[in-house]
A and B are shown apart, each in its own frame.
Chain A
Amino acid sequence: MPFISVDFALFVTAVLLLYYIFPKRYRWVVLLIASYVFYGLTGIENFAYILTTTVSAFLGAMLIENKGTEQKKYLEDNKNKLTKEEKKSYKAVIKKKQKLILTVCILLNFGILLYLKYIDWSIAYINLFRLTYMGRIDFIPFKNLLLPLGISFYTFQTMGYLIDIYYGKYEREHNFFRFALFVSFFPQIIQGPISRFGELAGELYKEVDFDFSRIKSGFYRIMWGLFKKLVIADRLAAYVRDAIALRETYKGLYILLAVFFYSMQIYGDFSGGIDVALGVSEMFGIKLAENFNRPFFSKSISEYWQRWHITLGTWFKDYIFYPLSLNKGIIKLGKFVREKGAVQFGKRIPIYIPMLIVWFTTGMWHGSQNRFVVWGLFNFVFIVLGTEFEPLSNKITQELKLNETGVMMKTYRVFKTFWLMSFLRIFDISADVPSAFDTFVLIFRDWGSFNIKFVYENLSLPQEDFIVAVVAIVIMFVFDLIQRRGSVRERIFKLPVIFQWVILSLLITAVSVFGYYGPGYDAASFIYGAF
């Protein structure tokens, strides 16, 4: 069932009715059943994957906790019998066992994810190796496996939970079915956000009263998400596709426009989908983590990544970056380099090596093609350059007596960050790394040949659609500007009822009328004539 479809809307309506009809303490059961029905509709065979993750994480957490309890009991029973060293070594043994359980669970779950996502990528390289070095042309066939719905999201979320349990961050969920809901909660399973157990569990299992204002607020958010997705993102998709495919013919500004539109498209698509997920959850009285915070207003790439796909960024930070920064081997390496005289370089090792790994992994997460890895590494390079040249940049600002906090400077930084990130996204819309570079180079050619007529007529964005897209992008921009001062919806709800209705009516009309969906209308085919 696609997330943005009438079927999904009907499904949510039915689940909402059941949810509020059921007694409060059983409402989470309705959500669990709904989540599994939703998941089952995507293909019954997918249950095997999500159940493996759910059962293994539940058992893993249970075993880790049991080891902790065992340790506690043993130490208490032998409080006076054991020496400090004996206690320490006992604790080390237990920790080792807990680590083993954690490792097995992580290997199993990420193993499944890696296998499904990268098996064909690996096969391609094995085939290339065999051909190049062994001259073998009996290629290993691709597996062509389909990724089960949301596997990246629920695997990351569940493994985050297990790591937190390992570090004793919070107590594990003892009820298997409640835990199953945490893993499978349907509004967030397709594209996140990646929730933390500490935040989501309280929301999922709390007993909420029916409140129409929540339904209303959720509805507004869903409609806003649909506006971004259907009116902006889906409308621009064809232009971006065609302009990149025909880049040899339509160079320069056509490509620059495609790069700009792709930024709007991906933001509208992803943040719009997240708005729908959060709006649906809100209707159930469940608050999910925000995943976007007006990212196009970021003044640096580091800031951008704190405002774009926030929950993935914090996941990588908490579960990869920090543990690696504190890794004994990396710390030792830094110390070694410092002792060898490269003090500044040595100091940066515990930061940059984990960061490099994070960006490599982030690239891999986005897709099983080299271009995503290169994209990730470029992000790393830009962040490092930004950090390293910050003192120089500050110095230039001071020398030129520029106002660091002034509007001009802020605008310049926002502009620079936006375009840097937009150019990096060329990897996203290109077939491979060489064509991404090729596209980038072509941006700077033939600006004089730009004719808006070709955009309308040859590149799948007719004039009327172009105007709608531009107006919608301006509305999105203004919305984000207003949001700087707090929730836009809360502001709307403070307006007189008549204005609220006007806004809601306009939103419904904009989405249903200007949304880019359906088969299109060909008046000629409706002319009476075919008997």
Chain B
Amino acid sequence: MKKAGNKIINIISVALKVLLILFLVITLNRIFMPKYVHENLDGRITQEYYPQAKYSDVIFVGSSTVHSAVDPRVLWEEQGISSYVRANASQTMWISYYMIEDAVKLRKPEMVCLDVTFIKYGDDFVEEPSTRKSLDGMRLSSSKIECIKASMGPDEKMAEYIMPLFRFHSRWKELSLDDFRYAYYNKAVTFNGYLPDEEVDPVEEKELVYTKEGDTEISGRNLYYLNKAIELCRSKGITVMLFKTPAHSSNWSTDYDDQINSVAKEYGLTYINFDEYNDEIGLDYTADTPDKGSHLNTSGAVKFSSYLGRYLKDNYNITDRKTNDKYIKNWNGIIK
């Protein structure tokens, strides 16, 4: 009996030691990871999703155009739609797929709205800082590992994603008090993934003309993950909408629209290029953009989100949560 007791004490003691080391390593990781609290807030979008997962009926997935154009607060206030924007800077289609897979594992949303703006980039698109911002905040799961494999460049290492300390340890020279203060900071700095931008930098040419020439065929990998994302949602009974967020950027081709339309048709989905609805939305790119039309600023975002909310309400069966106390409480917290 005494022997068995000793054995249990030994096991507990070893487990405690392992846990302590783990705590130390996790803390070091958190201290050394760049903090996206005062600037580069897009680095917080992925991690801030988790506390909001249970309230996210609609998930918007895509790249930076989405997180600057879709304000979930407007959708909530005007339509009672509870949503989250899982869209990071330069988020490729493969990252978007794993964002959906990761979200679905936690809670099945009613609808996924998948932005296709970034589909114009090729199979070999790699941009480490953006991949980092998308993935460092993702919880550890098979989806994260697969997403790392799909996204990292030839010189990057899986271990540096699993243990960001290996990537960021050389920041010791520039650590500031903020790195310690925000190591375990859990308060949201985004509005359910939306990043408001007050700046105004008007377009020079009012008329939007797509000028992308040359190879305008969607690359194999983009197409593969687009199909995979749709099939994943269908298999889970999640409604899917494909869209292109409005922007005043000539770097697009109607060839993309045609190809995406044929994918949408194949699955019986809707694809909307919101560039075609600028007038209905009321967008004015002399006032509604912070960067000459690449993204929308706050005034643009309010206009587009309002329009989008109405569109979703009219065309899809999304639960109105305005009568649900838990949702109301949650949204009051976000808006405050």
Binding site for B on A (CB under 8 A): 6-7, 212, 462, 464, 501, 504-505, 508-509, 512-515, 517-521, 523, 525-528, 530-531
What is the bound-complex CA distance between A512 and B30, given in angstroms? 13
Shortest beta-carbon contacts, A-B, top 8: A6-B159, A526-B129, A528-B40, A521-B170, A464-B173, A513-B169, A531-B64, A520-B170
Q: Is the CB of B166 within 8 A of A517?
A: yes
What is the bound-complex CA distance between A7 and B156, given in angstroms? 14
B249 closest partner in A (C-beta): A531
The residue that A6 contacts in the complex, of B129, B166, B174, with Cβ under 8 A, is: B166
What is the bound-complex CA distance between A413 and B14, given in angstroms? 47
B88-118 Cβ-contact flags toward A at 8 Å (1 or 0):
0110000000000000000000000000000
The distance from the CB of A422 to the nearest CB of chain B, in whole angstroms, is: 29
- Can you list 7 contacts pairing A with B, beta carbon distance less than 8 Å? A6-B157, A501-B20, A504-B21, A518-B166, A523-B34, A526-B40, A528-B42
Q: Is the CB of A530 within 8 A of B129?
A: yes
A513-B32, A514-B172, A518-B166 are known contacts. Are A527 and B24 too (CB-CB below 8 A)? no
Q: Is the CB of A508 within 8 A of B167?
A: no
Q: Is the CB of B166 within 8 A of A509?
A: no
User: Apart from A523-B34, A531-B63, A531-B294, what 15 extra A-B contacts exist at CB < 8 Å?
Assistant: A501-B20, A512-B25, A512-B165, A513-B32, A513-B169, A515-B169, A517-B169, A519-B155, A521-B167, A523-B174, A525-B128, A526-B34, A526-B40, A526-B129, A528-B40
Q: Is the CB of B132 within 8 A of A526?
A: yes
Q: Is the CB of B89 within 8 A of A531?
A: yes
B17-59 Cβ-contact flags toward A at 8 Å (1 or 0):
0001100110010001010000110100000000000000000
The residue that B39 contacts in the complex, of A6, A7, A528, with Cβ under 8 A, is: A528
What is the bound-complex CA distance between A35 and B1, given in angstroms? 41
Q: Is the CB of B155 within 8 A of A509?
A: no
Q: In terms of DSSP, what is the predominant structure of the interface of chain B?
A: helix
The distance from the CB of A262 to the nearest CB of chain B, in whole angstroms, is: 23
B117 closest partner in A (C-beta): A531
A7 closest partner in B (C-beta): B159
B61-78 Cβ-contact flags toward A at 8 Å (1 or 0):
001110000000000000
Q: Is the CB of A530 within 8 A of B130?
A: yes
What is the bound-complex CA distance between A527 and B39, given in angstroms? 8
The distance from the CB of B250 to the nearest CB of chain A, in whole angstroms, is: 14
Residues of B within 8 A of A523 (CB): 34, 171, 174
Residues of B within 8 A of A515 (CB): 169
The residue that B129 contacts in the complex, of A505, A514, A525, with Cβ under 8 A, is: A525
Q: Is the CB of B25 within 8 A of A518?
A: no
Residues of B within 8 A of A509 (CB): 24, 28
A501 closest partner in B (C-beta): B20
The distance from the CB of A236 to the nearest CB of chain B, in whole angstroms, is: 16
B270 at the interface (CB under 8 A from A): no
The distance from the CB of B22 to the nearest CB of chain A, in whole angstroms, is: 11
The residue that B89 contacts in the complex, of A464, A512, A528, with Cβ under 8 A, is: A528
Total A-B pairs, Cβ < 8 A: 76
The distance from the CB of B103 to the nearest CB of chain A, in whole angstroms, is: 23
Q: Is the CB of B169 within 8 A of A512?
A: yes
B275-299 Cβ-contact flags toward A at 8 Å (1 or 0):
0000000000000000000110000
Q: Is the CB of A527 within 8 A of B40?
A: yes
The distance from the CB of B109 to the nearest CB of chain A, in whole angstroms, is: 26
Residues of A within 8 A of B42 (CB): 528
Q: Is the CB of B24 within 8 A of A505?
A: yes
B168 at the interface (CB under 8 A from A): yes
A509 closest partner in B (C-beta): B28
A500 closest partner in B (C-beta): B17
What is the bound-complex CA distance between A523 and B10, given in angstroms? 45
Q: Is the CB of A212 within 8 A of B10?
A: yes
Q: Is the CB of B24 within 8 A of A508?
A: yes
B169 closest partner in A (C-beta): A513
What is the bound-complex CA distance between A517 and B40, given in angstroms? 26
Which residues 162-209 in B have Cβ within 8 Å of A in the complex?
163, 165-174
Residues of B within 8 A of A501 (CB): 20
Q: Is the CB of B168 within 8 A of A521?
A: yes
Residues of A within 8 A of B174 (CB): 523
B127 at the interface (CB under 8 A from A): yes
What is the bound-complex CA distance between A523 and B294, given in angstroms? 24
Q: Is the CB of A521 within 8 A of B155?
A: no
The residue that B167 contacts in the complex, of A7, A514, A519, A527, with Cβ under 8 A, is: A519
What is the bound-complex CA distance between A464 and B156, given in angstroms? 26
The distance from the CB of B85 to the nearest CB of chain A, in whole angstroms, is: 15
The distance from the CB of B164 to the nearest CB of chain A, in whole angstroms, is: 11
What is the bound-complex CA distance between A359 and B10, given in angstroms? 52
Residues of B within 8 A of A508 (CB): 21, 24-25, 28
Residues of B within 8 A of A517 (CB): 166, 169
Residues of A within 8 A of B156 (CB): 519
What is the bound-complex CA distance between A501 and B83, given in angstroms? 46
What is the bound-complex CA distance between A526 and B130, given in angstroms? 8
A6-B159, A508-B25, A525-B129 are known contacts. Are A531 and B166 too (CB-CB below 8 A)? no
Residues of B within 8 A of A518 (CB): 160, 166-167, 169-170
What is the bound-complex CA distance between A322 and B24, given in angstroms? 53
What is the bound-complex CA distance between A514 and B175, given in angstroms? 13
A526 closest partner in B (C-beta): B129
Residues of A within 8 A of B63 (CB): 531
The distance from the CB of A416 to the nearest CB of chain B, in whole angstroms, is: 37
Residues of A within 8 A of B28 (CB): 508-509, 512-513
Q: Is the CB of A212 within 8 A of B129?
A: no
Residues of B within 8 A of A528 (CB): 39-40, 42, 89
The distance from the CB of A429 to the nearest CB of chain B, in whole angstroms, is: 25
Residues of A within 8 A of B20 (CB): 501
A505-B24, A513-B32, A514-B172 are known contacts. Are A530 and B127 too (CB-CB below 8 A)? yes
What is the bound-complex CA distance between A66 and B129, given in angstroms? 67
The distance from the CB of B134 to the nearest CB of chain A, in whole angstroms, is: 12
What is the bound-complex CA distance between A519 and B159, given in angstroms? 13
What is the bound-complex CA distance between A501 and B173, given in angstroms? 25
Residues of A within 8 A of B64 (CB): 531
Residues of A within 8 A of B89 (CB): 528, 530-531
The interface centre, meaning the residue of B14, B42, B128, B170 with most chain A CB atoms within 10 A of its CB, is B170
What is the bound-complex CA distance between A505 and B21, given in angstroms? 8
What is the bound-complex CA distance between A528 and B173, given in angstroms? 21
Q: Is the CB of A513 within 8 A of B172?
A: yes
B34 closest partner in A (C-beta): A526
The interface centre, meaning the residue of B63, B166, B295 with most chain A CB atoms within 10 A of its CB, is B166
Residues of B within 8 A of A520 (CB): 170
Q: Is the CB of A531 within 8 A of B128?
A: no
The interface centre, meaning the residue of A525, A527, A531 with most chain B CB atoms within 10 A of its CB, is A531
Residues of A within 8 A of B24 (CB): 505, 508-509
The distance from the CB of A160 to the nearest CB of chain B, in whole angstroms, is: 37
The distance from the CB of B296 to the nearest CB of chain A, in whole angstroms, is: 13
Residues of A within 8 A of B173 (CB): 462, 464
The distance from the CB of B201 to the nearest CB of chain A, in whole angstroms, is: 14
